[in-house]
Structure 1
Amino acid sequence: MHNKISISTIRRALGLATLLAPLAAGAGGFPAKPVQIVVPFGAGSITDVVARVIAEHMREGLGQPVIVENKPGVGGIVGAANVAKAPADGYTLLLGSNSTNAINQSLFKSLPYDPIKDLVPVSMAGEIPAVMIARADHRANTLQDVVDLAKAAPGRLTFGIGNTTNRVAGEMLQKAGKFEAVIVPYRGEPYGLTDLLGGQVDFMFLNLPVAYPHLQTGKVKAIALTGVRRVSAMPSIPVAGETLAGFSMPDGWLAFFAPAGTPPQIIRRLNEEIVAALDDAEVRKRLEATGGYVVKSSTPDELGERVASDAKRWADLIKAANIPLQ
């Protein structure tokens, strides 16, 4: 005898299967093991600091260890490529930046990853002003001093840079000030800062939170911010555009990304945990104490729009500065 199955029974079964699909995709059991956050810059960078503060809070919500691993190299390319090639299961995240996800594709002839196709947005983590600094005993005190010194000795002044964002800033500054200097690249900002303090380079462009403690102790002095506005943490630092009309650079940012193909349910869960961390009063206090860091979260869609917009803007800046592809 054959059993008869009604149409309504089939429909109920199909409906249940649809409801259970997200669980079958793996979101229901996520996370079942530690989550790794890859930092594509060295220890001591602002990216490293932010990742570790947020990871502490995420451990509580996820109920699993959240491990931060530094994979520095080639302007963040090494770490970003590592995450792009990782399994799309939510267990490997990139705390990327405007360098790794919006600038590098316009600065390098080829990349071992596609920032748009290989990485999907999860959430913003914050915005970071950049600053040009000098040793406390350097004879230049203002940006105009720098321009005058550079014009008096073309190609003699040295500018240290630790990421691609500030590489563009250094080139744009030379163009706006109509002078020539030598750009000295470093694997990360802490390495360049060490050389600046040791007298190996004259000036350095770096993220304000990295310079902040040294500005507080008086070991270095701020020449100018490279962004479009002064910052509340140190309101006395002028913006470069106040001296050089037309000079304007977007502020940098940090944001979380996952490998393309990561299930949407897992992206939503990770976004919720990251946003919860950034909304926590203690987390905000610790991040803002770095000096100049602006805590900011987002939805995945909002981050995707920011990446697309900034990628175009940086491409235009790189083209305007005549920076050759690396």
Structure 2
Amino acid sequence: MKKWTAAMAAVGALFASTALHAQDYPGKPITVIVPYGAGQATDVMCRVFLEQLKVELGATIVIENRVGAASNVGASEASKARPDGYTLLCTGSATHVANPLIYSDMGFDPDTSLLPITGIASTGYVVATGSAFKGKTIGDVIEQAKASPDSVRMGLVSTTARVVNGMLSEATGASFNVVPYAGGNQALFPDLIRGDVAVAIEAMPSAVGPIQGGQIEGLAVTLPERSTLIPDVPTLKESGIDLTLVGWNAFYAPAGTPEEIITQVNAAAVKALAHPDVAERLKTVASTPMPTTPDELAALIQRDRATWKPMVELYNLKVN
């Protein structure tokens, strides 16, 4: 009886401690893991968001880039962190949408190991080329890739880009020689400029700057409408290709994080994303604020995964 009483007292103390910590949250710096390299699209959008989030939470936020295995390394680390609200994850849709379809073993289960907090921002992708490529339109690229299958080298950084490439191939009948880049766009863009790869698919926050600067040339965007940042670049729809695709980034906590903390961070995140400066800064990197409830984000994950699954299976994109 005494042992049972002691055990119940310990459980009660644990719940009381958790409630107390949630009530006092945040009482120390928050670490946010970004599983992409500095300067990549997700990193750029996360930093814009987190700069305002720390104001809304009244907390210090420390960003740690944990790169590897198409975001799996950093996301896995976040999922295994103590669920006290002091380690969070800011990542792209690939972590929850493409990667579970492509990797048979991610090192963790994103559906059970991470709790959705909110969406952050949506963006599109751009098909781009360097000056060394003779074609000047997306139609030229497709024509060459159809006339001589696998002759056009396509540079891809992320698992998301691999799926976008599959969708582009399915929509056009073109076949590309895929060249994966583990080193991010810092490795891809120099090769694209030199002509080592003819074309690339990259998220717009990473590609808009080089396009505006004239280092690379945008051929088409996957958005429903042209981007005001690169207005001369047509949409795929305008180019006669029936494909529209929007990507996104989101915020998560390790499973087991108290609901009170999830609710508090979500409320602060929604305020941060509603701030005019955040919307304006996201606009400069071709992104739009995308606040959601945790349930809305969970539903979006499942919806997009169901959309992408046929492409992964059709093009046999699984890697292990």
Fold conserved between structures, TM > 0.5: yes
Q: 2:299 aligns with which of 305, 314, 318?
A: 305
Q: Could you report, residue by residue, the CA deviation over 1:218-257 in whole angstroms, capped at 9, with x for unpaired residues?
A: 22111112344433433432222444544x2531100001
2:126 maps to a residue whose letter is V
Aligned residue identity for 1:200:
D
- Classify the secondary structure of the residue corresponding to 1:240: coil
Partner residue of 2:57?
62
Given that 1:126 and 1:293 are in contact with CA atoms closer than 8 Å, whether structure 2 keeps it comes out as yes
Within 5 Å, give how 1:124-203 maps onto structure 2: 124-187=119-182, 188-203=184-199
Instruction: Report the equivalent of 1:214.
Output: 210
Structure 2 matches for 1:1-326, cutoff 5 A?
24=19, 26-187=21-182, 188-243=184-239, 245-246=241-242, 248-290=243-285, 292-326=286-320
C-alpha spacing 1:242/1:83, structure 2 compared with 1 (3 Å): same
Q: How many residues align?
A: 306
Cα drift, residue 320 of structure 1: 3.5
- The whole-number CA distance in structure 1 between the counterparts of 2:83 and 2:240 is 46
- 1:267 Cα deviation after fit: 0.5
- Structure 1 stretches of 4+ with a deviation exceeding 6 A read 20-23
SS of the aligned residue for 1:117 comes to helix
Alpha-carbon distance in 2 for matches of 1:295, 1:60: 17
Q: Structure 1's 319 and 230: CA in aligned 2 closer, same or farther, altered over 3 A?
A: farther
Aligned partners of 2:37 and 2:65 also within 8 Å = yes
Which residue type is aligned with residue 257 of structure 2? T
Decide whether aligned partners of structure 1 residues 319 and 244 sit closer, same or farther in structure 2, where only a CA change above 3 A counts: farther
Shift in Å, 1:324: 3.9
Structure 2 CA distance, aligned partners of 1:241 and 1:40? 32
Give structure 1 stretches of 5+ with no counterpart.
1-16
Once residues 308 and 181 of structure 2 are traced to their aligned partners in structure 1, the CA distance between those partners, rounded to angstroms, is 21
Q: Distance between the aligned counterparts of 1:303 and 1:215, measured in 2?
A: 31
Q: For structure 1, which segment, 252-261 or 268-277, has the greater mean C-alpha deviation from structure 2 after superposition?
A: 268-277
- Shift of the alpha carbon at 1:145? 0.4
Q: CA deviation at 1:28?
A: 0.7
* TM-score normalised to structure 2 length: 0.88
Alignment partners' CA distance in 2, 1:45 and 1:76: 12
Q: Which amino acid aligns with 1:105?
A: P
After TM superposition, the structure 1 stretch with the greater mean CA deviation from structure 2, 115-124 or 166-175, is 166-175
Which of these two proteins has the greater Rg computed from alpha carbons? 1
Query: Conserved in 2, the CA contact under 8 Å of 1:81 and 1:113?
Result: yes
- Secondary structure at 2:167 match in 1: helix
The root-mean-square deviation of aligned C-alpha atoms, in Å, is 2.1
- The answer (yes or no) to whether the contact 2:212–2:230 under 8 Å persists in 1 is no
Whether the 8 Å CA contact 2:18–2:258 is kept in 1: the answer is: no
Return 5+ residue gaps in structure 2 as ranges. Answer: 1-11
In 2, Cα distance between equivalents of 1:73 and 1:23: 32
Instruction: Note the C-alpha offset of 1:137.
Output: 4.3
Give distance in 1, aligned partners of 2:276 and 2:17: 32
**Shift of the alpha carbon at 1:201?**
1.2
**Per-residue deviation at 1:303?**
1.0
Question: Does the C-alpha gap of structure 1 residues 113 and 308 become closer, same or farther in structure 2, counting only changes over 3 Å?
Answer: same
- The separation in 1 between residues aligned to 2:65 and 2:79, in whole angstroms, is 15
Paired with 1:269 and 1:304, the residues of 2 have a C-alpha distance of: 18
Aligned partners of 1:176 and 1:244 also within 8 Å: no
More divergent stretch after superposition (124-133 vs 170-179) = 170-179
1:281 maps to amino acid? P
CA distance in 2, matches of 1:143, 1:46: 22
Identity of aligned residues (%): 33
Amino acid at match of 1:190: Q
